[in-house]
Amino acid sequence: MPDMNRTSASASATIEENSAAKPTKERWLVLILISFMYLITYMDRSNISVAAPGITKEFGLSKTAMGWVFSAFTLAYALGQFPSGWLGDRIGPRKVLTVIMFWWAIAAVSTGAAVGFVTLLCARFLLGLGEAGAFPVATRGMQLWFPKVERGRIQGITHCFSRFAVAITPFVAVSIMTAFGWRAIFYIFGSLGAVWAAVFGITYLNRPEDHKGVNKTELAYIRGLNADGSIKQLETRSKRNVSWKLILRSPNMWYIAAAYGCFFYGTYFFLTWYPTYLQEYRHFSIRSLGFVASLPLFAGMIGDLVGGSISDLVYRKTGKLRIARRVVAVPGLVVSGLMLIPTALTHSAWTAVLCLAISFFFLELVIGPAWAVPMDVGGEFSGTVSSVMNTAGALAASISPVVFGFFAQRGFWIAPFFVTAAVLLSGALIWSFLIDPEMSVVGGIEG
- This prediction has a pTM of 0.76
What is d(CA 326, CA 315) in angstroms, rounded to the nearest whole number?
A: 11
Name the residue with higher pLDDT: 275 or 154. 154
Q: Are 40 and 33 in contact (CB under 8 A)?
A: no
160-183: pLDDT as tens digits: 898 888 778 877 888 888 888 888
At residue 230, the pLDDT reads 59
When mean pLDDT is compared across 100-104, 238-242, 284-288, 311-315, the lowest value belongs to 238-242
Average pLDDT of the chain to the nearest whole number: 84
What percent of the chain has pLDDT above 70?
Answer: 90
pLDDT score, position 81 = 82
pLDDT tens for each residue of 296-305: 888 988 999 9
DSSP collapsed to 3 states, the chain: CHHHHHHHHHHHHHHHHHHHCCCCCHHHHHHHHHHHHHHHHHHHHHHHHHHHHHHHHHHCCCHHHHHHHHHHHHHHHHHCHHHHHHHHHHHCHHHHHHHHHHHHHHHHHHHHCCCCHHHHHHHHHHHHHHHCCHHHHHHHHHHHHCCHHHHHHHHHHHHHHHHHHHHHHHHHHHHHHHHHCHHHHHHHHHHHHHHHHHHHHHHCCCCHHHCCCCCHHHHHHHHCECCCCCECCCCCCCCCCCCHHHHHCCHHHHHHHHHHHHHHHHHHHHHCCHHHHHHHCCCCCHHHHHHHHHHHHHHHHHHHHHHHHHHHHHHHHHCCHHHHHHHHHHHHHHHHHHHHHHHHHCCCHHHHHHHHHHHHHHHHCCHHHHHHHHHHHHHHHHHHHHHHHHHHHHHHHHHHHHHHHHHHHCCCCCHHHHHHHHHHHHHHHHHHHCCCCCCCCCCCCCC
Q: Which residues contact 339 (CB under 8 A, 6 or more apart)?
A: 355, 356, 358, 359, 362
Q: Would you say how long the chain is, in residues?
A: 447
Q: Which residue has the higher pLDDT, 46 or 13?
A: 46
Which tens digits make up the pLDDT trace of 364-407?
999 989 989 988 888 778 888 888 898 888 888 878 888 888 88
For a pLDDT cut of 90, what percent of the chain falls above it? 25
* Of the candidate ranges 34-38, 146-150, 409-413, the one whose mean pLDDT is the lowest: 409-413
In single-letter form, the type of residue at position 351 comes to T
What is the band of 12 on the pLDDT scale with cuts at 50, 70, 90? Answer: very low
Question: How many angstroms separate the CA atoms of 304 and 327, rounded?
Answer: 15
Q: Residue 50: pLDDT above 60?
A: yes
CA dihedral 2, 7, 8, 14 (to 10 degrees): 150
Q: What is the pLDDT of residue 10?
A: 40
pLDDT value, residue 240: 58
Quote the CA–CA distance of 306 and 301 in Å, as a whole number: 9
| Structure confidence at residue 70 (pLDDT) | 80
What is the radius of gyration, based on Cα positions, of the chain?
23
Q: What residues does 231 pair with on adjacent strands? A: 225
Mean of the pLDDT values across residues 108-124? 87
Q: What average pLDDT does range 317-342 have in this prediction? A: 94
pLDDT (0 to 100) of residue 11: 37
Residue 8 pLDDT > 50, yes or no? no
CB 322 within 8 A of CB 438: yes
Distance, CA of 368 to chain centre: 9
The residue among 39, 284, 44, 356 whose CA lies nearest residue 173 is 44
**Highest mean pLDDT: which range of 13-27, 196-210, 347-361, 407-421:** 347-361
Q: Is 418 exposed, middle or buried (0-12, 13-18, 19+ CB in 10 A)?
A: middle
Domains within the chain, CATH numbers bracketed: 25-225+233-433 (1.20.1250.20)
How confident is residue 46, by pLDDT bands cut at 50, 70 and 90? confident
Q: Answer whether residue 17 shows pLDDT above 60.
A: no
The pLDDT of residue 310 is 93
Residue 5 has pLDDT above 60, yes or no: no
> pLDDT tens, 431-441?
999 999 989 88
Residues 188-212 pLDDT 10s: 988 888 899 899 888 888 888 888 8
pLDDT band at 7 (very low <50, low <70, confident <90, very high): very low
Q: Which comes out higher in pLDDT, residue 20 or 113?
A: 113
Q: Per-residue pLDDT tens for 232-248?
A: 666 554 455 666 778 88
